[in-house]
Amino acid sequence: MSSDNEYRLSFATRSVHAGYDCKANEGSLNPPIYMTSTFAFDNVEQGAGRFAGEQQGHFYSRISNPTQEILEARLADLEEGEAALATASGMGAITATLWTLVGPGDQILVDETLYGCTFSFLEHGLKKFGVDICYADFTDHAEVKAKLTDKTKVVYFESPVNPNMRVIDIEALSVLVKDFSTSITVMVDNTYCTPALQRPLTLGADIVVHSATKYLGGHGDLIAGAVVGDADIIQQIRLFGLKDMTGAVIAPMTVFLILRGIKTLQLRMERHCHNAQRIAEMLEQHPAVDQVFFPGLKNDPWHQVACKQMDGFGGMIALELKGGREAGVRMLNRLKLAKLAVSLGDAETLIQHPASMTHSVYTPAERAEHGITEGLVRISVGLEAAEDIIADLDQALAG
């Protein structure tokens, strides 16, 4: 590993090595899995010091664990943040963070389109505790500026947006918010891109959240989340949002699986991007398809923003068929290779219908208001050969 005054190692290399020294672990090439709930102290003074935060060291795995510490160091390095916190799910990361940042009377300004469970937590959860949830089209900066108030504590969005693939200009929006008030926290869900393709903290955001279930793990065999930001706020989230409010504690074995997945993150993202580009170009020309939403297409309205802030266009595609919802259902039911399943970022190509699945927590009126159409189909392009995915989609669309 390089020292601070030497060149910075590449992303792919840091994905394999950051945060871990095998020499400090008896030469073990892979990090040990610490399957322990608690840690013994040398004496009362040491235990008291650790509980008080005056001494470094682990004392209970609900707070921290040596295996978890390695993952957190690696995630912070890859996102170019000071610190990270791993959680039991993506929603655990989001809820632990927001419970820490806001209270009754505060406002959260959010983009008009969100992942269904995030929307549900904000609309049907935090609202009950006196938090004002305000929506705006974050691609319209005038609208965002008009809705910022002295009660705004958090500005929250995804980019690209789940499920309709709008791309929000992270840098421009962060500047707008910070010009209004430097005390507002800009929080970005970076699940779709991962730090392999996009690093919101370098673009002006304060906090990044992930569903590590998706591309970070990469193999559809775990549920996890993560938060990355400056060290002070991560410690607050750890000791309040995680410890006291959610208890969304990640298991050491899950941590091990994510660390294993991250080693191949850049390779996988390159293949996801390559396949998605080919598939989007095919779908764009298909006579049964009305519209394709993918920032890698040159005529996509968000193409230029994506070129500015992303190192690749990702593996997610959304589309509308000319026959609407009925045509979408027919296509989904005819698939042979691609799997009809929610989630994303797996080796397998996954396809689903947001209005009846991941975003079904929205009422029909809410879906219409928030830009989630009844005919939208979402594709998480996998790692199979692109020509095989294309052939499967083509035969399904012919039905």
Q: Choosing from 62, 151, 330, 339, which is the catalytic residue?
A: 62
Q: How far is CA 142 from the centre of its chain?
A: 26
Sign of the CA dihedral 191, 195, 199, 201? positive
Return d(Cα 141, Cα 145) in angstroms, integer: 6
Distance CA 385, CA 271 (A): 9
Spatial distance between the Cα atoms of 72 and 69, rounded to a whole number of angstroms: 5
Given 166, 199, 214, 367, the catalytic residue: 214
> In this structure, are residues 330 and 288 in contact, taking their beta carbons and an 8 Å threshold?
no
Catalytic residue status for 244 = no
Contact yes or no for 267/312 (Cβ under 8 A):
no
Q: Distance between CA atoms of 173 and 218, rounded to whole angstroms?
A: 30
Q: Say how far apart CA 380 and CA 358 lie, in whole Å.
A: 13
Let me know if 158 is exposed, middle or buried by CB neighbors in 10 A (0-12, 13-18, 19+).
buried
Residue with tokens 């035969």: 395
Is 4 noted as a catalytic residue in this protein?
Answer: no
Q: How far is residue 357 from each of residues 28, 58, 343, 376, measured CA to CA in Å?
A: 43, 40, 10, 11
The yes-or-no answer on residue 135 being catalytic is: no
Q: Where are the alpha helices (DSSP H) in 80-152?
A: 90-101, 116-124, 141-147
Question: Which of 189, 311, 346, 392 is flagged as catalytic?
Answer: 189
Quote the DSSP letter at residue 374: T
Q: Is 286 helix (H, G, I), strand (E, B) or coil?
A: coil
Tell me the pairing of strands 316-321 and 376-380: antiparallel
State the DSSP string of 213-279. TTTTT-SS----EEEEE-HHHHHHIIIIIIIIII--PPPHHHHHHHHHHHHTHHHHHHHHHHHHHHH
Residue 260 neighbours by CB distance under 10 Å: 14
Compute the distance between CA of residue 131 and CA of residue 108 in angstroms, rounded to an integer.
7
Catalytic residue status for 179? no
From the list 14, 50, 77, 115, the catalytic residue is 115
In Å, what is the CA distance from 247 to each residue of 86, 95, 224, 238?
Answer: 12, 10, 13, 10
What φ, ψ does residue 249 adopt, rounded to 5°?
A: -85, 130
Q: Are 295 and 167 in contact (CB under 8 A)?
A: yes
- The set of catalytic residues is 62, 115, 189, 214
